[in-house]
Chains A and B, each alone.
Chain A
Amino acid sequence: MTAPTVTITDLRHAFGGTEVLAIDRLVLPSGTTAILGPNGSGKTTLVRLLATVLEIQQGSVQVGALDLTQTPHRTEFRRQLGFAMQDERLPARMRVGEFCNYVAALNEIGPRRRRLRWTNYVLAEVGLSDSRGTRIQDLSGGMRRRVLLAQAMLGDPQVLLLDEPLVSLDAAHRAAIVRSIAASAQHRTTVVATHHADELATICRHVVVLVAGQAVFAGSPTELAAVAKGRTFETATTPTDPAARAMGPDRFRLVDDCPPDGVAVEPTVHDGYLAVVSDSLVR
């Protein structure tokens, strides 16, 4: 089975009369797509709309042959969906294995033995095999994040939607999660809303940048990095640009006009992202 393409057309969403998302047209191909954007840019709203947690108010979302504005199509889509929300609050008293068994039942995986097999498999995938009997309240934030990813992979979904899966993880665990996402990316459509552009760039085929609810960039990670070509510098002078990053004790990296002692450097995906956000805010 080939992984489906997600096509978004004229999608608008408002909370209490305030429009938070306005996407004219966006295509998310199979493979992994990263959704980047500053806080409040509409990443989570977009993921929740794709996950059918929020009702589509205006516009359409097509996943393969399924139209998510239609109830029977939504139900069918949910059978192919794995979803990990941003909020890592989980039922504190439940044990990890019990929680996975519960989510597997929600996903119509049965009988119990089959749910247990899936539970063992996904927990092994995220390195939590030994925590099956641990209560969720006794897990660290990073481990809860991995439990969230594990439950999303139950039943080997065709579409995987992950909202900030790398938040509150240390570098080693972030790398492990990225590996897990990459390992299964070939045969599914994965959409990841994240702030960690560089870490996911290596495994993404496609990147979308949202600013103020609008998709201001859609393309490959290489194309995104190229936006900052000739605009990315390293300098020893403390820059005034709040988006400048410290690269060492006296080294700063910024995407801006060339500072007096600036040295042009090869831009990364993160630099490209900063350039796109900066350009769209100027507009």
Chain B
Amino acid sequence: MHAVEAALRDQATLPMRFGPSAERPIEPARLDENLLMVHTELDAPTPSRLERILTRLGVPDTTIPLVTATPALRRSWFLAVLIAVLFALSAASNEGAGVDRIAVFLTLAPLVPLAGVALAFGRGVDPTHELVVAAPQDTFRVFLVRALTVMAASSLILLLASLFLPAGGIFRFAWLLPALAVTTATMAASRHLEPRRAALPIAGAWIALVLIVTQAASAQAMFGPVLQLAAAAVTGIAAVALWRQRTALEFGPGSGSNA
């Protein structure tokens, strides 16, 4: 590096090295620009493991920094997710059979991606929120990228955890559609409510629904086909509602309440 720099700086040596055409003095501004380029190439930080994975997965170049900058996607968040999952796994009851044994896990699992989405975007959770809104990238797209990133990361952990459940058969994955439903509903409510504010009543409604149905009937009834169909319907309706208000999200979640 020092040799390159010295060669660029030492104009006197240029005629010797490159012939008489190099006798023309180099403008200092151009020299600085060239040095900056040399420094950029030599000092370029190595892409992180996550960046390399995303590149291999074909994620567009300008999207990768948006994914890696997701506030919720930090080591502390992953740790919190792991603790929550371990807690839910350990809460699997030794009594009863089938779905009854894993009801706690199935109830808590949808709340993990929900919490991630709530903390992924918005004024209160992202210090760069105003920079996001003032930038030419579509705010809705940034919101979507971050939400999908958090949902994918947390769902991966939960899917792995599901494999270690003591019972349940196909029911061990019965959290997946409810998780999609509660997260999409939270995002759809974000025109008027910040995701972190919308997530609380939705999480409350989910827990209340589980308690009411399991008390009145059984965990089997709660997480059965009726719930899966209902969750799929809620996801579909919420996704359509979210898509229809994509332009309204230009000023960020919760901006509808200020207008």
Contacts and interface: CB of A to CB of B under 8 A. Distances in A.
A7 B145 CA distance: 35
B255 A107 contact: no
A71 B69 contact: no
Interface residues of B, number: 36
B36 interface: yes
Contacts, number: 104
Contact of A116 (B44, B68, B130, B135): B44
B137 to A, nearest CB: 5
Interface residue tally on A, bucketed by range: 35 or more
B136 A110 contact: no
A83 B66 contact: no
Query: Which of B131, B142, B255, B259 is most buried by chain A, counting CB atoms within 10 A of its CB?
Result: B131
B231 to A, nearest CB: 34
A81 B36 contact: no
A110 B36 contact: no
B135 A103 contact: yes
Contact of B74 (A53, A93, A111): A93
B36 A124 contact: yes
B190 to A, nearest CB: 15
Contacts of A98: 65, 68-69
A117 B37 CA distance: 7
Interface string A101-128: 1111111111111011100110010000
Contact of A106 (B135, B251, B255): B135
Contacts of B135: 78, 103, 106-108
Contacts of A102: 65-66, 68-69, 128
B21 interface: no
A57 interface: yes
Interface string B114-133: 00000000000011101111
B43 interface: yes
A90 interface: yes
A108 B141 CA distance: 13
Interface of A: 15, 48, 51-55, 57, 71, 74-75, 78-79, 81, 83, 85, 87, 89-91, 93-94, 97-98, 101-113, 115-117, 120-121, 124, 132-133, 151
Interface of B: 36-37, 39-40, 43-45, 47, 61-66, 68-69, 71, 74, 126-128, 130-137, 142, 247, 250-251, 255, 258-259
12 contacts: A48-B130, A54-B251, A71-B247, A74-B250, A78-B134, A91-B69, A103-B128, A106-B142, A108-B135, A109-B62, A113-B44, A116-B44
